[in-house]
Amino acid sequence: MHPVITTTELAASLEADPRQRPVLLDVRWRLDGPPGIESYRAGHLPGAVFVDLDTGLSGPPGAAGRHPLPEPAELQRTLRAAGVRTAHPVVAYDDGDSSVAARAWWLLRWAGHDEVAVLDGGFAAWQAEGRPVTTARPRPEPGDIEVRPGAMPVLDADAAAAIARDGVLLDARAPRRYTGETEPVDPRPGHIPGALNAPSSSHVDSGGRWRERAELAARFAALGVTAGTPVGAYCGSGVTASSVVLALELAGHDQPAALYAGSWSQWSADPARPAVTGPRPG
């Protein structure tokens, strides 16, 4: 399944045989609120099930970061409750730059489920085109997905530091957080030494749609990403970094980028880990 699906393609698939319709996951979330469930209750795609980033797509915050990977058994319960079935297509959407939807995409891929895509343009594009929206909450039949973690590469802090030194480590946060001019959430400002800034917002255009393959490839090439380059990605808490992994796949990079799931929330909490401020990698 291609990692991104257009609104036209999704609309057509929703008109197909009910047994073939994709499972829709509404994963709207904002760092500063309001809670995504409020947006979901106000209107969502027909048949979509709301899955909360904080409780469904992440483990409890702690030493592993603000949004650590969920335990496989917990993720399996969440996905089955949403109706996700083995080898059955899933489409995730949010109402931002698709980075939260990319987290859902990445988790499903990590769990061994390849039939998953992100809705191009998300909820905003769907609504702008006058496509159907509802407040009715579905009651999906329980799914049977088996979560088998490990299908996507993951980094710990030491491995992230090594990739920053020997490959390319991409920081998906906004430039002002990368430089350390502001840090609204985590213990210290700055970035991992050697990391390069690749903001998640740069992977989509002003309408929230993913950029073309050639444009993405050129952006990553300018950051030193070439065939065979070891690439890792991180952000504040391992969420928006998932969009870097997806964007690299869209760009045609030969291997999946590795995700540092603990990201800056874990790194900055350890006083023994160095932090660089300013625009240079360090």
Residue 34, burial from CB neighbour count under 10 angstroms (0-12, 13-18, 19+): exposed
Q: How far is CA 83 from CA 212, 221, 240, 252, in A?
A: 32, 39, 25, 31
Give CA–CA dist 149/116, Å, rounded: 15
Give CA–CA dist 111/92, Å, rounded: 15
* Nearest to 97, CA basis, from 176, 183, 31, 185: 31
- Cβ distance 232 to 164 under 8 Å? yes
Residue 136, burial from CB neighbour count under 10 angstroms (0-12, 13-18, 19+): exposed
Give CA–CA dist 170/195, Å, rounded: 6
Q: State the Rg of the chain over Cα.
A: 18
| Structure tokens that stand for 208 in this block | 């929230």
* Nearest to 113, CA basis, from 75, 81, 139: 75
CB atoms within 10 A of CB 230: 16
Active site residue 235: yes
**Residue of 53, 164, 169, 235 with catalytic role:** 235
* Nearest to 140, CA basis, from 71, 74, 90: 90
Catalytic (active-site) positions: 235
